[in-house]
Structure formats: structure tokens, C-alpha cells
Amino acid sequence: MHFRPAVEADLDRLLGCVVDESISWAHPERLLSFLESGNYRYDRTWLAVDGEDILARAVFWGFPGGDKPLAMDCLYVHPSAADRVGLAAELLRHAHAAFGERPAYHVFVSNGWRDDPRAAAAIAWRWEAAGRAGLTEELERLRYEWTADEPVPEPSDRLEFRGDDDDEAFVAAFRRVAEGTLDHYTRQALVTMDPEAQARQDVEEYKSMPGERSWWRLAYAKDGSLVGVALPSANNGGPVVGYLGVVPEHRGHGYVDDLLAEITRFHAERGVQRIAADTDRGNVPMARAFERAGYRNFAIRLVLSAKPEIAADDRDPVNT
């Protein structure tokens, strides 16, 4: 058994790996198009090989030209492998050592996957293998979609939406909105980063998405106070809700509905047919808002990730 990154000469064998287990995977069409776009790369596709045969394969995703892989998209083990959990874990350990980090595993399953024995079994062994390789944190994100057969919401009669070319205005708003958030990623980031750096990083990440910066809006109440942010955006798959949030002092008044309506209306008026969005299962006020606004929960994204490591410089000198 030998562990190594793939090379171009492996292509036929890579296309021959088949996952038939009711979960998302890097199927041949996806593999070819992402190798072409640069989202997948041979050197970010790790293999366990026995002579000519691929016994296990881990496919990682990143932005084209990005300096590191951002997520694992597919974990495959050939049915003949005696210990698939052990083999997959070993493969992941090799890939992580080469990358110098452990990208999270993102896997898509349908709703009710826990009650579907095939999907549950497909997740179970991958979960165990990922855990042995250090991906011990689990998060379920609900995937929503709005389609153009739903009514287009009316504009808010209590909020005013304004664009702002100054990124600092959004950094300040993101920082306020992150206070007391129920969003796992933001909470996790705030364990290791100070709130301003976290807000700045979020603004940069949203700017790097394919959506336009000019679409971003700040929302104000009639008294001129800032209520929140509404960022319609897009990713490689098409238009997305992007980000929205309400500052703590304005929570509990249903403003989330006004912000989401603004984003939906904005996309709908550009002729968009489908808007996608994700939120954590634990972010109940957000999930409820999607359901009130005619978004349909069509799938689940399961994310298995490593515990965040606190950089030595950021450690609390008193408590560590």
C-alpha cells in the first residue's frame, strides 16, 4: 500500500471510482469540470494505491489559484478493502500532513438521512474515519432554496436600505451583528480572533465571492439607527442569500424578515430563478425566517472539521 497525491496519468482510474451510497461525491462529470476549472487539482487529490489499483481516494476542493484546499468533497474506499475506516483515516492523515492543515469534510445528504439506512451507513464509516484523522467537530447546515414560482416579497415599510462604498462601514456593521450570534463559524472564529479582525476577515471573504460588492446594503430604522446588513451574493453555483444579520439591540422584532425579503426581492428583480442559502440547524431564528419567506429546505450539508487551534500569541496568558 502506498499513499500519494494523484498525477494526470491517474485520470482514467480516478474516473473509475464509484460511490453509490446516497451521499454527494466527486462523480466523473464533476471531477472533469472541476479539474478543468482548477477547483480540484491532481496534487490535492490523495490516493491509497496498490500497484495500479486505487483502493481509496480523497478529493479536496479550493478556489482556482487559491493557495490551499478549503474542503474535502469526496471520500471513497474500494469495496474490496478489508478495513475501510482504517484505510480512509490513514489516507486523510497523509493528505493533512502534506497540506499542513486539516480541511473540513463537506458532505451533502437528503433530509431525513438518519432514517435512511443507506445514507446513514455511508455517513457512519466516513464520520469514524474523519474523526480518527482529527475531524472531530460536527455541524449540520440546512440548505434552502427560493424559486421564482414563489411570490416576490414587498419592500419593507419600516427599514431603509442603503449601499455604502466604504468597506469600514460594513466591517463595523459585521462586528455588531456577530455579537451573540448563533452561527457556528462566527462563534468559532471569535474564539481565536478579536471581533474586529473577525469582521474584517468576513468582509474580505464576501468580497472574494462572485457576487457584486455594489449589491451590499446597510439597513436603517426610521430613527436613523443601524438595524443590520443584507448582502445578496453569488457563488459558483449561482445566486445566494449571502449574509444578513440584525444588531443585538434590534433583535426580536422580526427585522430578519425585512432583510431577507430585501435580498430575495433584489435577486428576483434581476430575473434570478433560484436563490440558495445555508444556515446552521442551531440558528433557529434564521431557519424559521427562511421558512416564512418561502424558502424550501431541500438538503443538509454535514460539515466535519478539526477543533480550532488557538495560536500561541492569542492564548490568554492567565488561563493557559
Ligand X SMILES: CC(C)(COP(=O)(O)OP(=O)(O)OC[C@H]1O[C@@H](n2cnc3c(N)ncnc32)[C@H](O)[C@@H]1OP(=O)(O)O)[C@@H](O)C(=O)NCCC(=O)NCCS
Write out the binding residues for ligand X, residues 263-292 only, by CB under 6 A.
Answer: 279, 283, 285-286, 289
The CB-of-208 to ligand X minimum distance in angstroms stands at 18
254 scored as a contact of ligand X (CB under 6 A) = yes
297 scored as a contact of ligand X (CB under 6 A) = no
Nearer to ligand X, 129 or 241 (CB): 241
Write out the binding residues for ligand X, residues 36-75 only, by CB under 6 A.
Answer: none
Nearer to ligand X, 253 or 315 (CB): 253
Closest CA to 72 of 139, 130, 14: 130
Among 168, 252, 273, 281, binds ligand X (CB under 6 A): 252
Write out the binding residues for ligand X, residues 150-189 only, by CB under 6 A.
Answer: 177, 180-183
The CB-of-246 to ligand X minimum distance in angstroms stands at 4
The CB-of-252 to ligand X minimum distance in angstroms stands at 3
Distance from C-alpha of 303 to C-alpha of 72, rounded to nearest angstrom: 10
The CB-of-185 to ligand X minimum distance in angstroms stands at 9
Write out the binding residues for ligand X, residues 227-246 only, by CB under 6 A.
Answer: 244-246
The CB-of-227 to ligand X minimum distance in angstroms stands at 8
The CB-of-20 to ligand X minimum distance in angstroms stands at 33
Write out the binding residues for ligand X, residues 202-221 only, by CB under 6 A.
Answer: none
Residues that bind ligand X (CB under 6 A): 177, 180-183, 244-246, 251-256, 279, 283, 285-286, 289
